[in-house]
Amino acid sequence: MRPQAQIEWKADRNFARLVLGRRVLVLHRAILRHAPTIAASLRAMALSKEAGLGNRASARRLRLDGGPELIARQARRGGVARFLLTDTFFGITPRPLAELTVATEARRRGIPIAEPMGAMVQWVAPGVYRGFFLSRAIPGMTMWEFARTDDDPLVLKHVLTAARASVVTMHDKGLFHADLNLHNLMVTQRGESFAVLILDLDKARLYDGSLRPALRRANARRLLRSVRKLDPAGRYFDDAALAILDVS
């Protein structure tokens, strides 16, 4: 199967596509009536200079009157390119729509992710665009935030085990993340326990069957590299914690 991250947005009965001038919105039907508010809010966010949430400070909360709270994440570049182009991308298959395709199918397969709610692409010129991805807001905190907040080793072990189970499920159901790190694992309370959801499928790829070992190892290396970068002294993640997270 060709990885779905390389395929254009495919129509889904739960979503509707709207064209507003140079802007293309694909929204879940549950929030479709809020389209004008969403479009205006995303435009304001694109112009704002304030830092947002997340690893690249690119996400913001979007509250809808009478609707669900959303997280709107602006597509931002990483690496050296972020100093030159920041939020401008090139291509005919916009990344936010590709992510929506992947996230919608991943959720259908039962992979624990934040519920995808839509995307917006604004065409600056032919083949040049800026974009946003929308998901339902999740109460909780990232794995990195959680580890620094809760100092109970038994609780942390429980959450790490839940994170491992989520990543294994992701692998078994054919999703390769490509940017798995502590900022992309969201710890949320579920009843009297915790669950861990996987965020940010911007670079993810889906395959028909479960991932082959080489791809599983690549995801594991990326996650462990994130741990060592954020916590080089092992203050929060000791060898036992690393062993739990090593899903290779």
pLDDT tens by residue, 104-156: 999 999 999 999 999 999 998 888 988 999 999 999 999 999 999 988 899 99
- Number of CB atoms found within 10 A of residue 79's CB: 6
| Domain residue extents for the chain | 4-136, 141-245
Measured CA to CA, the distance from residue 86 to residue 161 in angstroms comes to 36
The whole-model pTM stands at 0.87
Q: In this structure, what token pair is assigned to residue 102? A: 């992947």
- CATH number of this structure's domain 141-245: 1.10.510.10
| pLDDT given for residue 88 in this prediction | 85
Above 90 in pLDDT, residue 52?
no
pLDDT tens by residue, 58-83: 789 999 998 899 999 998 765 544 44
Above 80 in pLDDT, residue 7?
no
Q: For residue 56, with 0-12 CB atoms within 10 Å meaning exposed, 13-18 middle and 19 or more buried, which class applies?
A: middle
